[in-house]
Amino acid sequence: MLPKPRADLIPNSLDYEMIPLVKATGFREYDARWLYGPEINLLGIQALGLGLGTYIQELGHRRIVVGHDYRSYSLSIKQALTLGLIGAGCEVLDIGMAVTPMAYFAQFDLDAPCVAMVTASHNENGWTGVKMGAQRPLTFGPDEIGRLKEITLGATWKERDGGKLTRVDGVAERYIADAAARAKLTRPLKVIAACGNGTAGAFAPEGLRRMGVAEVIEMDATLDYNFPKYNPNPEDSVMLHAMAKAVREQGADVALGFDGDGDRCGVVDDEGEEIFADKIGLMLARDLSELHKDATFVVDVKSTGLFATDEVLKKNGARTVYWKTGHSYIKRKTAELGALAGFEKSGHFFFNPPIGRGYDDGLVAAAAILSMLDRNPGKKLSDLKKALPVAYTSLTMSPHCADEEKYAVVDDIVAEYTAFRDAGGKILGRSIVDLITVNGVRVALEDGSWVLVRASSNKPELVVVVESQKSEDDMRALFHQEVKPRLTKRSQVGAYNQEI
């Protein structure tokens, strides 16, 4: 029996080799992420496996798919997790190195109700984590993570006999074939597959070729867990700018950027202009609502307000529901409402049948985007973008804020904006018409512009997005003259990862 996990262990000490280290802050809203070494050790990962195995047994399951992303330490993390799962009496189906949606696919392919994917997604080197689920295609939310945290930190796991490990080959081939079958292109397209040297480089280019892409130009598709150029994050301006440069140099029709674990897809159009994922979502919603009348779409609170006002969606009877940011939340809401698709501004796209299986998959999202182009043979991606109503949306900006403090800071911001609205306060001359507080606060202004502040679900950061219906200059003013000054006066808020 493992000892009870502690949070005060120091690396390079006897206790660190003998006792599980698990810091409570690693249990996020809908997955688990730690800095490997100072926040969790291998025994801590084994304890997590015991906790997870115990929990899924509580739910009446024991078969679980495991996979790992391409980082120098991910295989070791997965093996430690597997030891814990076996100790809890689970049947572990190891699919090897994988992108996260491949692990979700394997739940269906191998008829396994549960999944544990070892990945730090797009986080910097040093991070590790696990994305988990026990009700395909859904992943854990706060309730499930809370119970897992309780079992793991309290060492109330139950060891059982009968644990088993089976290595399963062939899942990668079946996953690529399944994703590729979701697009049958007749239009010759030149596509850049940008992988940021992350795990998707092993699978995404081949998937695009099988969809019928005439020319796939691989960009940083060689696996390198040092991420020599930038972290594979298609929401980050560095990766987007590199994709834009490649489009202009190669004369490509589109660049598709995949994040570190392959569940997100970022887009740069034929003119070398980045299209944020919420605008791509709106383009897809327009396209799909023509084929599926009266469809429901779910979008997160970071997404453009155009979903609520778009005339094409109204004409096709489409309904849009705004919901909490986070892949688990949007995935769950999309399933709950039976929506055709869910779109998250970070690039997580969820398609229910007949388009997908309900989970986020960058390659399936790519298939949907390319199919949209195929259905519009006389138009470039830039033409479809220009057909959208104009709104000026910022990139996602994240100032540092400690995990132990970020939620209290956001609660304080919500209270401040509520009082400001109730007092009749105006933002750059505009009245506040609504406060959406399902996830932080989204402050809607009378002209349709808005600002958003929320806590990051998986990093010690806040998240800031602003959108203007007026101009790019107004969008910048909403940040520099409104949101940033409110946050700067709070000592808990630090430097931003990027700013407009």
Question: Which amino acids are annotated catalytic?
Answer: 121
**Which tokens hold the place of 12?**
């390079």
Sign (positive or negative) of CA dihedral 460, 122, 139, 131: negative
For residue 328, CA distances in Å to 34, 63, 148, 215, 360 come to 18, 21, 16, 34, 9
**How far is the C-alpha of 478 from the C-alpha of 427, rounded, in Å?**
8
- Residue 467 pairs in a beta bridge with 393, 450
**Which tokens hold the place of 197?**
């040297």
For residue 17, CA distances in Å to 43, 50, 285, 496 come to 8, 18, 52, 36
**How far is the C-alpha of 394 from the C-alpha of 473, rounded, in Å?**
11
Q: Around Cβ 168, how many Cβ atoms within 10 Å?
A: 16
| DSSP-derived secondary structure letter, 234 | T
Sign (positive or negative) of CA dihedral 366, 303, 242, 68: negative
Q: Around Cβ 310, how many Cβ atoms within 10 Å?
A: 20
First CA to last CA distance, the chain: 52
Closest CA to 415 of 437, 382, 387: 437
**How far is the C-alpha of 340 from the C-alpha of 335, rounded, in Å?**
9
Closest CA to 336 of 103, 143, 138, 142: 138
Q: Around Cβ 399, how many Cβ atoms within 10 Å?
A: 24
Q: Which residues contact 415 (CB under 8 A, 6 or more apart)?
A: none
Contact 70, 77 (CB under 8 A): no
Q: Around Cβ 424, how many Cβ atoms within 10 Å?
A: 8
| DSSP-derived secondary structure letter, 40 | B
Consecutive H or E run containing 190: strand 190-194
SS3 140: coil
Q: Which residue has the tokens 């074939």?
A: 177
**How far is the C-alpha of 493 from the C-alpha of 409, rounded, in Å?**
8
